[in-house]
Structure 1
Amino acid sequence: MPVIMGTAGHIDHGKTTLIKALTGIDCDRLVEEKKRGITIELGFAFMDLPGDRRLGIIDVPGHERFVKNMVAGAAGIDFVTLVIAADEGIMPQTREHLEICTLLGIKTGLVALTKIDMVDEEWLEMVKEDVAGYLSTTFLADAPIFPVSAHTGQGLDALKSALSELVDTYQPRRRSDLARLPIDRVFTLKGYGTVVTGTLIAGSFKVGDDVVAYPKGTTSKIRNLQSHGQPVQVSPAGRRTAVNLPGLEVDDLERGEVLALPGTLFPSLVWDVELTCLASCPRSIKHRTEIHFHHGTRETLARIFLLDREKLEPGETAICQVRFAEPMAGVFGDRCVVRAYSPLRTVAGGRIVSPLGRKVKRFAEPGLEPLRRLAGAARDEVIPVQLELAGAEGLSFARLMVLSDLESRELDKALKRLCDTGGAALVDREGREGRTFVAASVVNRLMDELLAAVAAFHKREPLKQGVTRGEMASGFGRGLSPKLFHFLLERLLKTGKLAAEQEMLRLPEHKVSMASDQAKLRDTLLGIYDTGGLTPPNLKDVLESLNLTFKEAQPVYKVLMDQGLVVRIKEDMFCSAAAFKELVAKVAAYFETAREMDPSNFKDIAGLSRKFAIPYLEYMDKEKITVRVGDKRQFRRK
């Protein structure tokens, strides 16, 4: 598996010179670097090892003014070679670089004590003891120290052997999917066009892949790939990679963007971060402090919003939100570094617990508790918490890929287990971003709320059979996705907690409850229309005979229509539903032998005068039983 080594250390301690002595490659490529004799930008080299292996190397600048470049390089390394000059010992950037490596989660490395040709043995031993003592409380506590001289070659063979052995034993854990390449260089190469370089920190790229530069969303297709100057068809995770992107200009891209496959990253203005303030920080970090935020190869201004305190003291760790002026694309578990706005120095760092942060009320435990659980969750415990935080919005499979540390196969199995054990529900199988899942606790809460909404409707409208799906969708379901609303309804109907009659929804136990006077009116009206058949009395005459207004009688008419006992033919005309059904049967029988029907035919069939025949014909047209063609009707079913 490819491995990347990075250097760290104070300016002029010999990092670049040491790499040249080990590999024959001069990492200082800029004219300004040659002129000033210091490293300004990141440098790249490789060292061939026994067994046809190759160690990628990133050389970082040591000057305090270029620490941001150092962070960009360190973000892609697996282990570090801390370079300390024997004639100077531990210096400010020795400390800061080591702190940055710690914050980035680097846990392995060794120490190169350079320029030993400039000191005597006694001094060298004293410096070795001093370095060992300083490193005793760091991740390099047990790291071997190799005295070397790039000028005389002393100690270089031992260092090379140690590096080879470290590569043999070191097994970096990298995701094989979710390909990401944080861009650290953008340039034009004659005959190729625009090229970007970076360390592929996950997944792989192959020639012909469609790619997107996040967060801007610039798209292209990989024309060529190179690794350490050699063309390749596929570049795996952990390898320094140059990507040739046709159709783009240098100005279309910039350091800090992340090259990935389409639809795999989701830039956001808010991240939830588990942040640790360095014990060496001279002061606390206050709520809303503006900072320089480093992630991958990108540096940007941001503000820290502390959620459970007013300030983060040196040595303390807390969950906070980092808010950006422009969207950032990250993945759960990514490391970040925070530097003070002024004076510039590293003050904190941490781990992303959600790169899709949501609004959280400060000092509110219900919102904070899941974030704390997320920070300490085992890999298989992350998904339920992320779904819980997502609420009714749910999460697509693609978003869960960036919100967890699981590869696609693992994630697929974890979601299946979660759904099988009742911890989550698959609410959309064909969403724009793939399958969408919602936490079971959220589904259960929403089903209870939907049932409560139907019960409240019954209480408000006791004379109605129920509420239509459309009314529920535009009311209760207004803030939900259509797929989730449909899922809730279907689950309630399937379990019998909700009943449906065509488009009408009701609680199974609901019965139209009428007061005695309304029940009496219902029976009276039903008798009037049953007696009237197809020639019912005018609505005005019915109401006058009962000494009622339509407003008073309307609820009972609605019940009769909901129960399918009465049909409203037009504004002021109702008739018996049974009589109308017989009429439709007669019309259907007529069309068994005829293709068309004119009004006179209809009057003969129904035995009606024009006064009644025309409203019935128009109503049947409206109900799509018949269709009017000129002055005649045809049967739609035919």
Structure 2
Amino acid sequence: MPVIMGTAGHIDHGKTSLVRALTGIDCDRLAEEKRRGITIELGFAFLDLPDGSRLGIVDVPGHERFVKNMVAGAAGIDFVLLVIAADEGIMPQTREHLEICSLLGVQAGLVALTKADMVDEEWLEMVRDETARYLEPTFLGGAPMVPVSAVTGQGLDELRAAIAALAAGFAPRRRSDLFRLPVDRVFSIKGHGTVVTGTSLAGKIAVGEEVQVYPKGRKAKVRGLECHGAMVNEAPAGVRTAVNLGGLEVSELERGDVLARPDSLFPSQVWDVELTCLASTPRSLKHRKEVHFHHGAREVMARVYFLDREELKPGDTALCQVRFEEPLAGVYGDRVVLRSFSPLRTIAGGRIVNPLGRRVRRFSSQAKGIEALRLGQGEDVLRAQLELVGPSGLTQAQLLILTDMESKALEKALGLLGGRQEALQFDRETRTYVAGSVVAGLIDCLTRFLGEFHRREPMRPGLARGELASTWGRELPSKLFHFLVERAARQGTVTLENDLFRLPGHRVSLASDTAKLREAVLTAYEAGGLTPPNLKDVLGPLGVEFKEAAPVFKMLQDEGKLTKIKEEMYFATPAVTGLTDRVRAWFAAGREEMEPSDFRDLSGLSRKYSIPLLEWLDKEKVTVRVGDNRRLRKRDAVG
């Protein structure tokens, strides 16, 4: 797999001169760089190795004012060439660059003691010993150290050999096949249009494919690709790549943007980050501190919110939330660097554990739940992300950025978790998953809800799907609601009968006094026929308020024994059914309109009952009102 080497070191220690001596490529391309004799922008070169491979090189500026450019270049490197001038030794940016590389997860490298021709052997040996002692507790402890001179050529062959040996045994860790290229340069080439460069962190891209610019969302076609000076049809991960984009102007892009496939990244304004405060930092990092935040090639202002403390002391590590004014696109495990607002210096860094963070209360159970993300890997992180997001679930595309897993490995892990009922797909179309523990908790909640409903409405046999969705399931995704109730029904946790959901043990049963009430009500209305009794006349002698008797009336309606004509007016259903049949027969005799007097003659009812019954016939779409008269609805007549 291709490897990228980055330079690091103090200003004027000879980084760019050394790269030019090693490769023949001058990384200082700007007129201002040549005039001032310092590197301002990132430079890029390559070195052909004895095994036929080509090593990419990122040359970074050393001046303290351009550390942000250094961070942008260091974000994609695999190992570092730390450059220390033999006539000066370790200097401020030597220390800061080394700290930045450590925070970015760089774990290998070597040291070049430049300007070796300008000091005697005794001085060179002293600088070598001092450097070795300083580097001993760092990731460069025991690393190869080669004295060199870009002027005389001293040590260049030995340095090339050391670089080749390190590159040959180096295995970059790029698990994801999700193509991403942080943009560190944007320019235009006459006749070609807009070009961006960067180091592809993962995946691969080919000419003709469509890409999207994050976080802006604009899309473009890949018109051409160049890797280390050669035109290619496909660019793999870990290679310095120039991408010729069709459909975008230079003004529409900037350093820090990320190229990826459409709909593969999900920008967010909140990230959960495992953060380490540098031991060399003079003071603690306070809660809500505003900082310069570096991720990939982007620098933004952000605030740090600690979840379990008020400050992060030098040398300590803790979880925090970093919040931005505009969304950024990140992936689990990405490295970040924090620099203080004033004075401007590197103070902390770490890795993203959740690039789709949600604001949570400090010291809460939600805050503790994020802790699982920093401790696990692979399946453990996958399970933890699903449990953390809860009922909203996560798509497979989101899970790719939340785990940094290769897509086939993710599918396999989801299959294994699915077999253990720990991750369940509830939406096949969007491939959305929810944690098994969340499903179990929601089904428990459903049974408690139905239990409360049965206690509150003992006369109702159950809840219809729509009513259950609009009450218990109103805050759930629609497809998750249907998945849950059907799963609960298959498990036997709830019973689905006549499109009504109920607990398995629930039966509509009346206590002896309620049974008497039901019998009394039904008898009274059946005896009344089309002149039913007043509610108070029925319930008064029984000593029951309508509020108490309402479940009995509702049950009798559900059973088809009573028909509600209007509020507090009920008829025995056979009585109104018979009247409806007589109305239809009256019209069937060839009459077109029924006057109110015709209805009174037909029914023998007073105005007290005839008017509500006529209105009920209209509502039931048996008749239609025309002025004060009624006509049979044509649909009803045809029926």
TM-score by length of 2: 0.89
**CA shift at 1:502, angstroms?**
3.1
1:512 aligns with 2:508: yes
> Which residue of 456, 470, 473 corresponds with 2:466?
470
User: What pairs up with 1:369-384 in 2 under 5 angstroms?
Assistant: 369-384=368-383
CA distance in structure 2 between the aligned counterparts of 1:347 and 1:620, rounded to whole angstroms:
75
CA distance in structure 1 between the aligned counterparts of 2:539 and 2:169, rounded to whole angstroms:
97
Query: C-alpha offsets along residues 323-380 of structure 1, whole Å, 9 cap, x if unaligned?
Result: 111111111111111111110111111011111112222223x233332222121333
**CA shift at 1:546, angstroms?**
6.7
Query: Secondary structure at the residue paired with 2:408?
Result: helix
**CA shift at 1:472, angstroms?**
2.1
**CA shift at 1:154, angstroms?**
1.3
The residue type paired with residue 330 of structure 2 is G
User: What pairs up with 1:209-608 in 2 under 5 angstroms?
Assistant: 209-364=209-364, 366-430=365-429, 434-527=430-523, 536-540=529-533, 544=537, 554-566=550-562, 574-576=571-573, 599-600=587-588
The residue type paired with residue 494 of structure 1 is R
CA distance in structure 2 between the aligned counterparts of 1:417 and 1:283, rounded to whole angstroms:
47
User: What pairs up with 1:116-265 in 2 under 5 angstroms?
Assistant: 116-265=116-265
**CA shift at 1:576, angstroms?**
4.1
Query: Secondary structure at the residue paired with 1:478?
Result: coil
State whether residues 622 and 633 of structure 2, in contact with CA within 8 Å, keep that contact through their aligned partners in structure 1.
Answer: no
Out of 242-251 and 271-280, give the one that drifted further.
242-251
CA distance in structure 1 between the aligned counterparts of 2:382 and 2:104, rounded to whole angstroms:
24
CA distance in structure 2 between the aligned counterparts of 1:493 and 1:351, rounded to whole angstroms:
43
**CA shift at 1:458, angstroms?**
1.8
**CA shift at 1:170, angstroms?**
0.9
Query: C-alpha offsets along residues 362-400 of structure 1, whole Å, 9 cap, x if unaligned?
Result: 223x23333222212133311111111111222111111
The residue type paired with residue 423 of structure 2 is A
Out of 283-292 and 471-480, give the one that drifted further.
471-480
Query: Secondary structure at the residue paired with 2:356?
Result: coil
Q: Check 1:273–1:176 CA distance in 2 against 1; reply closer, same or farther (3 A cut).
A: closer
**CA shift at 1:276, angstroms?**
0.7
**CA shift at 1:87, angstroms?**
0.9
The residue type paired with residue 416 of structure 1 is G
CA distance in structure 2 between the aligned counterparts of 1:576 and 1:629, rounded to whole angstroms:
21
Out of 67-76 and 537-546, give the one that drifted further.
537-546
Q: Check 1:220–1:631 CA distance in 2 against 1; reply closer, same or farther (3 A cut).
A: closer
The residue type paired with residue 501 of structure 2 is L
**CA shift at 1:25, angstroms?**
0.8
CA distance in structure 2 between the aligned counterparts of 1:392 and 1:18, rounded to whole angstroms:
56
State whether residues 333 and 353 of structure 2, in contact with CA within 8 Å, keep that contact through their aligned partners in structure 1.
Answer: yes
Query: Secondary structure at the residue paired with 1:275?
Result: strand
Identify unmatched segments of 5+ residues in structure 2. 592-598, 604-609, 624-631
The residue type paired with residue 372 of structure 1 is E
- Specify the alignment match of 2:626 in structure 1: none
- How big is the alpha-carbon RMSD for the aligned residues of Structure 1 and Structure 2? 3.0
CA distance in structure 2 between the aligned counterparts of 1:34 and 1:196, rounded to whole angstroms:
23
% identical aligned pairs: 58
**CA shift at 1:443, angstroms?**
1.4
Out of 117-126 and 608-617, give the one that drifted further.
608-617
State whether residues 569 and 575 of structure 1, in contact with CA within 8 Å, keep that contact through their aligned partners in structure 2.
Answer: no
> Which residue of 613, 634, 638 corresponds with 2:638?
634
**CA shift at 1:424, angstroms?**
2.5
CA distance in structure 1 between the aligned counterparts of 2:17 and 2:536, rounded to whole angstroms:
104
**CA shift at 1:543, angstroms?**
7.0
State whether residues 176 and 404 of structure 2, in contact with CA within 8 Å, keep that contact through their aligned partners in structure 1.
Answer: no
Identify unmatched segments of 5+ residues in structure 1. 585-595
Q: Check 1:575–1:207 CA distance in 2 against 1; reply closer, same or farther (3 A cut).
A: farther
CA distance in structure 1 between the aligned counterparts of 2:490 and 2:70, rounded to whole angstroms:
60
The residue type paired with residue 385 of structure 2 is Q
**CA shift at 1:112, angstroms?**
0.9
The residue type paired with residue 11 of structure 2 is I
CA distance in structure 2 between the aligned counterparts of 1:358 and 1:470, rounded to whole angstroms:
31
State whether residues 292 and 300 of structure 1, in contact with CA within 8 Å, keep that contact through their aligned partners in structure 2.
Answer: yes
TM-score by length of 1: 0.89
- Give aligned pairs, total: 612
State whether residues 200 and 240 of structure 1, in contact with CA within 8 Å, keep that contact through their aligned partners in structure 2.
Answer: yes
CA distance in structure 1 between the aligned counterparts of 2:253 and 2:438, rounded to whole angstroms:
41
State whether residues 384 and 439 of structure 1, in contact with CA within 8 Å, keep that contact through their aligned partners in structure 2.
Answer: yes
